[in-house]
């Protein structure tokens, strides 16, 4: 190790730095060149994206992922979350099982009097209540009494509280609580086996 | 049931561990084999010591008539560390293709037809093809197809006159259904819980944990043996048995966080009333003192009463069924009664929990997709609940009123011997009167001279049924009215019990108690046992030979102890099964081994199933007569074992309990 720092050493350090810089630039230009070439390649992929009516959506998703890896600086594509049908079907199945929900909705109510509908409504209400309580934990968003005045501080969660009416000015906002809101804090949906067809929300029943 | 047999010699941890796995319940009767077992038993222990990082738990299983619960607590070397007790969520199928975690595993087994189940729809987290459908799915499918549903297997284990290893369930099933035995069903529930445990604790196999399985205090030796054997059959050789009422008390002690000593005092007699889904179980536990420390001794247990919450729901449903049929003039179908039972269960809770609700609507929806057409509606009123449940099951009776028992009709169908008298209070009165002398030997407990029944001073409730304050208050009121009648102080309720989960929790806690962390309930066997021998009298033509009862195991035999008959000997014929009549008494506390009773009342001695012994030929001639002694031992597991011991060479043969070949 040199104990003194003379001009020679300073010169050496500078040379190393310059060489390193040149190397980086060369590498970068190579990468960008490759990326551009790669950009021209996925014409076929775009074609499949243009035919969205085809049901093979999953394949498209996979190709998009590959594209991302290659093309580093592209802007984030806007992705709208698509709900998986299984959970929705499962919930329908549970409501049908516990509360005869589909039976009730599919029935022609106009043919019956209020008394008959009332009896059926009990089945649906009791069952729905049981199912919802069993599989979800629900809380109100706001603990205040409905109809009372509430003040929303700056930075309040806009997805938890929706403003309506005369929205002007800046936070804090003061207004009347019209609906206290509901929030699911826990979901305990049953697990499904791999072979389970969730689209059968109620199996037909044949008594032997 | 270990607690039942109270204090074992105070072993340190290791010797207990070494001793437990050797309990071999295979049918080996050769002493050589038993020796062999002892030597192999130490192997798993050594393997376990090597993996010192493996966690160890104390696991308690409540193997209930209608529900099973598994609770566990981690065993820490560090005593100061707070231990938290948990109830395991048991994954189970609820309908084909759907798996849910629930704290209770319904004790039902469903024998599905192959056409009923779509491929891949009965997958559990640990297997794609479970051997049996158990839990919620079994109960749900079985509610619509009862001919394939196995329920109350536990009650069959304690049912005289059937062989519990014969495929007899469901008893109503048609020929082509492959039935299972009550033993097999019990095994299936244990197996499901074992697999669920191992799925959640891959590093802690259940066969290496301390395991306690609870049984009703009123279980006879054969039923206890079958329970232990079921655990052994799935590799849980270390399982110990504990009586459910004791387990409930352990749970209460655990819940009090050390404060229990301030709630009971020397001289207390605690009455544990456990009304479960299918059975009512009664036990008395006395609080005594030894060198300044409180001690608990289980002094008496009740008879096996098949009466519980399910009977209540049924009673209510049939009352409403009669009312509806009278109103509409139409007979209700089986599925409607089923739905009505469900509706009644919920409506009853509403009436119990809400003092304002005097009537609750009951709706029986139609089965088809049209909800409005065929749906029936009626009401359940408070008056009906009071009349059917409160007055029917907990009638206000005098302490002298005991359960009514009609002689069974000769043509009894081969079903379970359900209690004939639904009055739980009458069963309670009968129990307390029968056990009046249960505390005579205890120093610190005194009963007034004029008492006509045993006076409990504290009450611990257990079982889902008694969660309803209306019912538990009624029970207390009736009991206290008896006490006041005899100028005794009212019994107080021990608060803070978890009525649904206490038995499983107490069992896991008991695992810790066995390590020396806490007070242990003493007790020993809850009965004395006798074999029937023909008395030496000249035969009188036309008269059956007189039978004497020979005591072979005294009351209160503690686990790990044994007794041999000193003088009496029997000649057993090699190769031929020999049967003995077998009796038990839960009141005769004084009888010593070798005592012969030539007279007894039906109250005193209950006849159990016959026991059987067959001496194998091995090295002897068939037909040779071998003189033997009988020997009774209570194992560490908590089961009673009977052996025949040869006079000549000390050879031992095990006597089987479970030979209930149904030759009643």
CA atoms within 13 A on the CB side of B455: 24
Arithmetic mean of pLDDT, B214-242: 92
Out of A123, A190, A196, closest to residue B371 by CB: A123
Amino acid A80: pLDDT:
83
Arithmetic mean of pLDDT, B620-641: 83
In a domain, B482, yes or no: yes
The reply to whether A56 touches chain B by the CB within 8 Å rule is no
Amino acid B512: pLDDT:
87
Contact flag A112-B372 (C-beta cutoff 8 Å) = yes
Residue B211 has pLDDT above 80, yes or no: yes
| Lowest pLDDT segment from A18-22, A165-169, B218-222, B464-468 | A18-22
Nearest CA-CA distance, residue A130 and chain B, Å? 11
Nearest CA-CA distance, residue B280 and chain A, Å? 29
CATH of residue B377's domain is: 3.90.640.10
Out of B95, B125, B375, closest to residue A123 by CB: B375
Amino acid B3: pLDDT:
38
Owning domain of residue B150: 54-238
Amino acid B31: pLDDT:
39
Contact flag B365-A120 (C-beta cutoff 8 Å) = yes
Which residue of B lies nearest to A208 if distances are taken between CA atoms? B145
Residue B459 has pLDDT above 90, yes or no: yes
Domain count along chain B: 4
- Based on the fold, state whether residues B104 and B234 are members of the same structural domain: yes
Which residue of B lies nearest to A96 if distances are taken between CA atoms? B369
The length of chain B is 664
Residues above pLDDT 70, as percent of chain B: 86
How many interchain CB pairs under 8 A, A with B?
76
Which helix (H) or strand (E) segment is B276 a member of? Answer: none
Per residue, what are the HEC states of B304-346?
CECCCHHHHHHHHHHHHHHHHHHHHCCCCCHHHHHHHHHHHHH
Amino acid B13: pLDDT:
39
Higher pLDDT, B71 or B621: B71
Out of A111, A120, A194, closest to residue B120 by CB: A194
Q: Rounded to the nearest 10 degrees, how much is the dihedral formed by the CA atoms of B442, B444, B449, B453?
A: -60
- Based on the fold, state whether residues B114 and B179 are members of the same structural domain: yes
Which residue of A lies nearest to B347 if distances are taken between CA atoms? A126
The reply to whether A142 touches chain B by the CB within 8 Å rule is no
- Based on the fold, state whether residues B196 and B104 are members of the same structural domain: yes
**A contacts of B94 (beta carbons < 8 Å):** 190
**B contacts of A193 (beta carbons < 8 Å):** 97-99, 120-123
Q: Whose CA is closest to B184, among B170, B197, B196? A: B170
Last residue of a domain, one of B345, B371, B393: B393
Higher pLDDT, B2 or A200: A200
Higher pLDDT, A68 or B345: B345
In a domain, B409, yes or no: no
Which residues of chain A fall short of a pLDDT of 70?
1-5, 7, 33-73
Instruction: Count other Cβ atoms within 10 Å, centred on residue B631.
Output: 19
Amino acid B62: pLDDT:
94
- Based on the fold, state whether residues B269 and B225 are members of the same structural domain: no
Tell me the per-residue pLDDT of B102-127, one tens digit each, with 9 for 90 and over: 999 999 999 999 888 888 888 899 99
Contact flag B363-A196 (C-beta cutoff 8 Å) = no
- Based on the fold, state whether residues B234 and B259 are members of the same structural domain: no
Mutation site, B176, B339, B371, interface A, largest A CB count within 10 A: B371
Domain boundaries, chain A: 7-70
CA B553-B556-B562 angle, to 5 degrees, is 45
Contact flag A117-B372 (C-beta cutoff 8 Å) = yes
Out of B98, B367, B375, closest to residue A196 by CB: B98
Q: Whose CA is closest to B61, among B209, B179, B167, B173? A: B209
Arithmetic mean of pLDDT, B467-471: 90
- Based on the fold, state whether residues B378 and B479 are members of the same structural domain: no
The reply to whether B129 touches chain A by the CB within 8 Å rule is no
**pLDDT winner (highest mean) among B240-249, B374-383, B650-659:** B240-249
Contact flag B372-A106 (C-beta cutoff 8 Å) = no
Residues 63-102 of A with CB under 8 A from B: 97, 100
The separation between the first and the last C-alpha atoms of chain A, rounded to the nearest angstrom, is 96
Amino acid B457: pLDDT:
93
Amino acid B43: pLDDT:
39
For A123, the 3-state DSSP assignment is: helix
Residues 12-51 of A with CB under 8 A from B: none
The reply to whether B99 touches chain A by the CB within 8 Å rule is yes
Q: Residue B280: phi, psi to the nearest 5?
A: -115, 125
Out of B95, B123, B375, closest to residue A120 by CB: B375
- Based on the fold, state whether residues B118 and B256 are members of the same structural domain: no
Amino acid A35: pLDDT:
63
Contact flag A195-B371 (C-beta cutoff 8 Å) = no
The reply to whether A134 touches chain B by the CB within 8 Å rule is no
- Based on the fold, state whether residues B127 and B254 are members of the same structural domain: no
For B7, the 3-state DSSP assignment is: coil
| Lowest pLDDT segment from A48-52, B250-254, B371-375 | A48-52
In a domain, B299, yes or no: yes
Tell me the per-residue pLDDT of B173-202, one tens digit each, with 9 for 90 and over: 888 889 999 999 999 999 999 999 999 999
In a domain, B179, yes or no: yes
Determine the Cα–Cα distance for residues A1 and B58; give it in Å rounded to an integer.
Answer: 65
Amino acid A146: pLDDT:
92
- Based on the fold, state whether residues B234 and B120 are members of the same structural domain: yes
Which residue of B lies nearest to A193 if distances are taken between CA atoms? B97
Out of B118, B346, B365, closest to residue A100 by CB: B365
Amino acid A124: pLDDT:
92
CB B377 within 8 A of CB B355: no
Determine the Cα–Cα distance for residues A194 and B294; give it in Å rounded to an integer.
Answer: 56
The reply to whether B176 touches chain A by the CB within 8 Å rule is no
Tell me the per-residue pLDDT of A87-124, one tens digit each, with 9 for 90 and over: 899 999 999 999 999 999 998 888 888 888 888 898 89
**A contacts of B122 (beta carbons < 8 Å):** 193
Mutation site, A115, A120, A124, A200, interface B, largest B CB count within 10 A: A120
Residues 341-360 of B with CB under 8 A from A: 346
**A contacts of B379 (beta carbons < 8 Å):** none
Cis peptide before B405 (omega within 30 of 0): no
- Based on the fold, state whether residues B262 and B337 are members of the same structural domain: no
Tell me the per-residue pLDDT of B270-329, one tens digit each, with 9 for 90 and over: 999 999 888 899 999 999 888 878 889 998 999 888 888 888 988 999 999 999 888 888
CB B196 within 8 A of CB B135: no
Per residue, what are the HEC states of B159-188?
CCCCCCCCCCECCCCCCCCCCECHHHHHHH
Contact flag B119-A195 (C-beta cutoff 8 Å) = yes
Long-range contacts of B534-540 (CB under 8 A, 24+ apart): B535/B598
**B contacts of A123 (beta carbons < 8 Å):** 363, 365, 371, 375
In a domain, B175, yes or no: yes
Nearest CA-CA distance, residue B377 and chain A, Å? 7
Out of B97, B144, B377, closest to residue A196 by CB: B97
Out of A100, A106, A190, closest to residue B98 by CB: A190
Nearest CA-CA distance, residue B73 and chain A, Å? 24
**B contacts of A197 (beta carbons < 8 Å):** 97, 118
The reply to whether A61 touches chain B by the CB within 8 Å rule is no
Amino acid B229: pLDDT:
92
CATH of residue B301's domain is: 3.30.420.40
Last residue of a domain, one of B214, B238, B262: B238
Last residue of a domain, one of B192, B209, B238: B238
- Residue keyed to tokens 């941890």: B13
CB B653 within 8 A of CB B615: yes
Determine the Cα–Cα distance for residues B486 and B480; give it in Å rounded to an integer.
Answer: 10
CB B281 within 8 A of CB B436: no
**pLDDT winner (highest mean) among B131-140, B166-175, B412-421, B525-534:** B131-140
- Based on the fold, state whether residues B216 and B73 are members of the same structural domain: yes
Mutation site, B97, B133, B200, B335, interface A, largest A CB count within 10 A: B97
**Tokens standing for A93?**
């199945």
Contact flag B363-A188 (C-beta cutoff 8 Å) = no
What is the residue-averaged pLDDT of chain B?
82
Mutation site, A190, A200, A202, interface B, largest B CB count within 10 A: A190
Amino acid B536: pLDDT:
64
Mutation site, A106, A114, A193, A194, interface B, largest B CB count within 10 A: A193
Q: Whose CA is closest to B643, among B654, B651, B635, B634? A: B654
- Based on the fold, state whether residues B126 and B269 are members of the same structural domain: no
| Lowest pLDDT segment from A33-47, B545-559, B610-624 | A33-47
The reply to whether B14 touches chain A by the CB within 8 Å rule is no
Residue B662 has pLDDT above 60, yes or no: no
The reply to whether B363 touches chain A by the CB within 8 Å rule is yes
CB B27 within 8 A of CB B656: yes
Contact flag A205-B120 (C-beta cutoff 8 Å) = no
Q: Where are the alpha helices (DSSP H) in B402-513?
A: 424-434, 469-485, 502-513
Out of B96, B123, B363, closest to residue A194 by CB: B123
């Amino acid at each position: 190790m040199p104990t003194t720092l003379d001009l020679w050493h300073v010169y050496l350090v500078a040379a190393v730095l310059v060489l390193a810089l040149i190397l980086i630039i060369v590498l970068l230009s190579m990468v960008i060149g490759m990326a551009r070439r790669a950009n021209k390649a996925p014409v076929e992929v775009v074609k499949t994206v243009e035919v969205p009516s085809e049901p093979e959506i999953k394949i498209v998703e996979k190709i998009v992922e590959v594209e991302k890896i290659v093309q580093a600086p592209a802007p984030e594509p806007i992705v709208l979350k698509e709900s998986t049908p299984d959970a929705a079907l499962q919930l329908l199945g549970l409501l049908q099982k516990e509360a005869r929900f589909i039976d009730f909705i599919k029935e022609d109510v106009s043919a019956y009097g209020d008394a008959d509908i009332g009896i059926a409504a009990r089945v649906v209400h009791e069952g729905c209540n049981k199912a919802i309580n069993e599989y979800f934990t629900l809380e109100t968003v706001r603990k205040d009494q409905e109809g009372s005045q509430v003040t929303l501080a700056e930075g309040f969660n806009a997805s938890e509280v929706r403003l309506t009416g005369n929205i002007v000015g800046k936070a804090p906002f003061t207004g009347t609580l019209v609906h206290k809101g509901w929030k699911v804090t826990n979901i305990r949906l049953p697990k499904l086996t791999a072979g389970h067809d969730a689209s059968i929300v109620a199996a037909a029943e044949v008594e032997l | 049931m270990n607690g039942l047999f109270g204090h074992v010699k105070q072993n340190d941890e290791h010797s207990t561990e070494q001793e437990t796995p050797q309990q071999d319940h295979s049918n080996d009767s050769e002493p050589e084999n038993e020796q062999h077992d002892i030597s192999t038993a130490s192997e798993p222990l050594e393997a376990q010591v090597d993996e010192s990082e493996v966690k160890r738990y104390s696991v308690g299983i409540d193997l209930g008539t209608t529900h099973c619960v598994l609770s566990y607590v981690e065993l820490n070397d560090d005593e100061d560390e707070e231990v938290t007790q948990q109830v395991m969520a048991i994954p189970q199928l609820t309908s084909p293709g759907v798996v849910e975690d629930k704290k209770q595993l319904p004790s039902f087994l469903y024998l599905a037809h192959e056409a009923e189940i779509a491929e891949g729809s009965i997958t559990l987290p640990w297997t794609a093809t479970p051997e049996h459908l158990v839990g919620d799915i079994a109960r749900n499918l079985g509610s619509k197809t009862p001919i394939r549903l196995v329920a109350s297997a536990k009650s069959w284990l304690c049912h005289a006159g059937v062989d519990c290893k014969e495929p007899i369930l469901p008893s109503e099933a048609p020929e082509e259904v492959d039935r299972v035995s009550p033993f097999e069903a019990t095994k299936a529930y244990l197996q499901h819980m074992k697999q669920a445990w191992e799925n959640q604790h891959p590093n802690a196999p259940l066969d290496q944990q301390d395991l306690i399985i609870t049984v009703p205090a009123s279980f006879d030796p054969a039923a206890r043996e079958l329970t232990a054997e079921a655990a052994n059959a799935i590799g849980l050789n270390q399982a110990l048995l504990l009586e459910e009422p004791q387990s409930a008390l352990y749970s209460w002690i655990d819940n009090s966080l050390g404060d229990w000593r301030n709630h009971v005092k020397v001289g207390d007699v605690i009455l544990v009333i456990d009304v479960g889904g299918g059975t009512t179980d009664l036990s008395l536990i006395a609080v005594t003192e030894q060198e300044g420390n409180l001690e608990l001794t289980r002094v008496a247990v009740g008879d096996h009463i098949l009466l519980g919450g399910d009977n209540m729901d049924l009673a209510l449903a049939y009352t409403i069924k009669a009312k509806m049929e009278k109103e509409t003039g139409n007979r209700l179908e089986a599925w409607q009664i089923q739905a009505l039972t469900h509706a009644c269960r919920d409506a009853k809770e509403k009436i119990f929990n809400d003092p304002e609700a005097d009537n609750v609507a009951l709706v029986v929806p139609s089965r088809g997709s049209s909800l409005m057409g065929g749906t029936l509606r009626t009401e359940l009123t408070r008056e009906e609940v009071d009349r059917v449940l409160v007055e029917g099951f907990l009638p206000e009776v005098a302490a002298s009123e005991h359960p009514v028992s009609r002689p069974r009709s000769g043509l009894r169908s081969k079903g379970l011997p359900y209690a004939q008298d639904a009055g739980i209070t009458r069963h309670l009165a009968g129990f307390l009167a029968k056990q009046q002398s249960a505390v005579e030997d205890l120093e610190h407990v005194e009963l007034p001279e004029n008492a006509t029944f045993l006076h409990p001073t504290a009450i611990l409730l257990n079982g889902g049924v008694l969660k309803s304050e209306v019912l538990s208050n009624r029970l207390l009121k009736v009991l206290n009215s008896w006490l006041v009648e005899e100028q005794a102080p009212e019994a107080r309720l021990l608060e803070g019990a978890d009525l649904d989960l206490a038995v499983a929790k107490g069992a896991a806690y008991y695992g810790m108690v066995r390590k020396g962390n806490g007070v242990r309930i003493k007790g020993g066997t809850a009965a004395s046992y006798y074999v029937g021998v023909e008395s030496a009298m000249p035969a009188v033509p036309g008269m059956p030979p007189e039978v004497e009862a020979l005591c072979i195991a005294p009351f209160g035999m503690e686990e790990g102890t044994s007794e041999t008959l000193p003088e009496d000997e029997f000649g057993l014929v090699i190769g031929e099964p020999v049967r003995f009549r077998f009796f038990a008494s839960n009141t005769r506390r004084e009888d010593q081994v070798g005592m012969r009773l030539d007279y007894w009342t039906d109250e005193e001695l209950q006849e159990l199933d016959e026991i059987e012994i067959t001496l194998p030929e091995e090295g002897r001639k068939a037909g040779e007569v071998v003189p033997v002694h009988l020997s009774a031992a209570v194992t560490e597991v908590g089961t009673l074992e009977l052996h025949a011991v040869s006079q000549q060479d000390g050879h031992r043969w095990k006597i089987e309990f479970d030979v209930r070949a149904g030759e009643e």
